[in-house]
Amino acid sequence: MDKQPTLVLTGATKGIGRAIAGRFAPVCAHIALVARTATDLKETQQALKAIAPGCTFEVFPCNLSDPEAVQGLCAALQAQYPSVDILINNAGAFLPGTILEEAAGALETMMAVNLFAPYHLSRALWPNMPVGSHMFNIASVASREGYIGKGSYGITKAALLSLHHSLRHELTTKGIRVTAVLPGPTWSDSWAGADLPESRLLQAAEVAEALWNAWQMPPNAVIEEITIRPQLGDL
């Protein structure tokens, strides 16, 4: 891509999203940072300005589990960015529990964030994405395999992977590349306090680098899926 791109990123303040923002910021003209908490967004915005002074960062606080809030976000992004070169559907919700014993509403909450939000954002923003742009959907190794304590989470991430496959086919003739990323266990706030060596889990920066490398492919090629795990496997 010859021009500096505009990037829309959900889940931008924590873990993989924060690492993605830091990796792409130095080459971007504009980044829309989407996350639930306004204070976290402001802190992330200031930190990114320090490493990428040539990029403009706009913040969009949004509870992606709220359908009305998602519709408002879609409208705001459409108005703010007539051209979106990279859309990264990264935000995710994880509520641990078994399907038979989890609290009522757990599946619905995760489905809203993990499937419905990227569905609506992709539908809203693809008309603003020019030929050569790139859409990423951050799924999970749980999209393909079942894990005890992650049953409903896996259902939602499997649905996201299915959405990815449909988007890949539908956007092929539009010149928009679509990539699904399936990370294994990755250090984040959800692993805080875990008595594990740092090398046992992926680092968020390693997942961000996988996205960067896929984006760097020439426009006639697309990496459709990336599965990335710790060398020692899942936990």
Residue 234: inside a domain:
no
Residue 82: inside a domain:
yes
Name residue 35's beta-bridge partners.
61
Residue 116: inside a domain:
yes
Residue 111: inside a domain:
yes
State which residues form the domain around 162. Answer: 6-228
Question: Is residue 22 predicted with pLDDT exceeding 70?
Answer: yes
Question: Is residue 1 predicted with pLDDT exceeding 60?
Answer: no
Burial environment of residue 23 by CB neighbours within 10 A (0 to 12, 13 to 18, 19 or more): middle
- Identity of residue 90: N
Residue 183: inside a domain:
yes
**pLDDT level of residue 94 (50, 70, 90 thresholds):** very high
CATH of the domain at 191: 3.40.50.720
Q: What is the pLDDT of residue 191?
A: 77
**pLDDT level of residue 2 (50, 70, 90 thresholds):** low
Mean per-residue pLDDT for 122-128? 98
Backbone angles phi, psi at 14, to 5 degrees: -130, 155
pLDDT, the chain, mean: 96
In the sheet with 134-138, reading across from the earlier edge strand, the strands are 56-61, 30-35, 6-10, 86-89, 134-138, 177-183, 225-228
pTM for the structure as a whole: 0.96
* Other CB atoms within 10 A of residue 166 CB: 12
Cα–Cα distance measured from residue 134 to residue 181, given in angstroms and rounded to the nearest whole number: 13
Residue 1: inside a domain:
no
Q: What is the pLDDT of residue 45?
A: 98
| Residue corresponding to tokens 């005890």 | 148
Closest residue by Cα to residue 159 from 89, 60, 85: 89
Question: Which pLDDT tens digit goes with each residue over 166-184?
Answer: 999 999 999 999 999 999 9
List the structure tokens of 150.
Answer: 């992650």
Mean per-residue pLDDT for 75-87? 98
Residue 136: inside a domain:
yes
Q: Which residues have a Cβ under 8 Å from the Cβ of 124 and sit 6 or more positions away? A: 74, 75, 77, 78
- Identity of residue 77: L
Number of domains in the chain: 1
Burial environment of residue 132 by CB neighbours within 10 A (0 to 12, 13 to 18, 19 or more): middle
Whether the Cβ atoms of residue 171 and residue 178 lie closer than 8 Å to each other: yes
Query: Where does residue 97 fall: left (phi above 0), alpha (psi -120 to 50 degrees), or beta otherwise?
Result: left
**pLDDT level of residue 192 (50, 70, 90 thresholds):** confident
What is the chain's Cα-based Rg?
A: 17
Residue 36: inside a domain:
yes
Mean per-residue pLDDT for 194-207? 91
Mean per-residue pLDDT for 97-117? 97
Question: Is residue 104 predicted with pLDDT exceeding 90?
Answer: yes
Does the CA dihedral 111-114-116-119 come out positive or negative? negative
Mean per-residue pLDDT for 147-168? 97
Whether the Cβ atoms of residue 57 and residue 45 lie closer than 8 Å to each other: yes
Closest residue by Cα to residue 230 from 193, 192, 184, 198: 184
Q: What is the pLDDT of residue 60?
A: 98
